[in-house]
Copies of this chain bind each other. A is one copy, B any other.
Amino acid sequence: MNARIAVPLPKAYRLLNHGPTVLVSSAHAGRRNVMAAAWNMALDFDPPKVAVVIDKATLTRELVEASGEFVLNVPSRQQAALTLAVGTRSGREIDKFATVGAGAAAASMVGAPLIEGCLAWLECRVIAEPHIQQSYDLFLAEVVAAWADPAVFSNGRWHFPDEQQRSIHYQAGGSFFATGDAFDI
């Protein structure tokens, strides 16, 4: 597992504020899975909340509904191939951890694992809203712990000294953008 430091919860929204594609990891009753999700966002500051779309067809959906927990992992450009792979294969067909080489470590507050090599991690507990889960595949959750690799996030800010250790933004058809130049107004 790469280095990680705790991110104070009122700053956790900043891990998602710039709109990166994330990996959603989940576990329940001895099964676990990981999928990619471009459709995620922060929903509140403190206590921090997030929103993420999890399709009914996915194994992740089954594990998240059963456990009430998930982790949002922010992958790096170095993990773009892994991100695409876990976003296009189903956990019903393969063990994605073994097949695509996604290492996993124990989280602190939830049963879902932290994906190794990511830039940041948000441990989340689902806020039960059955109507929007069913109608829109939309899950709301409270962030109960947050972590970041101090090489890229510290004092509440992202900084990307290495081109391969930047967050990524999925477009479509295997095409991504890296997070680009930082600038201040």
Main secondary structure of the interface of A (DSSP, over half): strand
Is A40 among interface residues, defined by CB-CB distance under 8 A?
Answer: yes
C-beta contact mask, A135-178 vs B, less than 8 Å → 1, else 0?
A: 01010100000000000000011100000001001111011111
How many A residues touch B, CB cutoff 8 Å?
46
Shortest CB–CB separation between residue A122 and chain B, in angstroms?
14
Show the binding face of A for B, using Cβ within 8 Å: 14, 17-21, 38-44, 49, 51, 53, 77, 80-81, 84, 129, 131-132, 136, 138, 140, 156-158, 166, 169-172, 174-185
Query: Which residue among A49, A80, A179, A185 has the maximum number of chain B CB atoms within 10 Å of its CB?
Result: A185
> In the bound complex, do residue A181 and residue B177 qualify as a contact, i.e. CB atoms below 8 Å apart?
yes
Chain B residues contacting A169 (CB-CB under 8 Å) are 17-19, 169, 179
> In the bound complex, do residue A175 and residue B171 qualify as a contact, i.e. CB atoms below 8 Å apart?
no
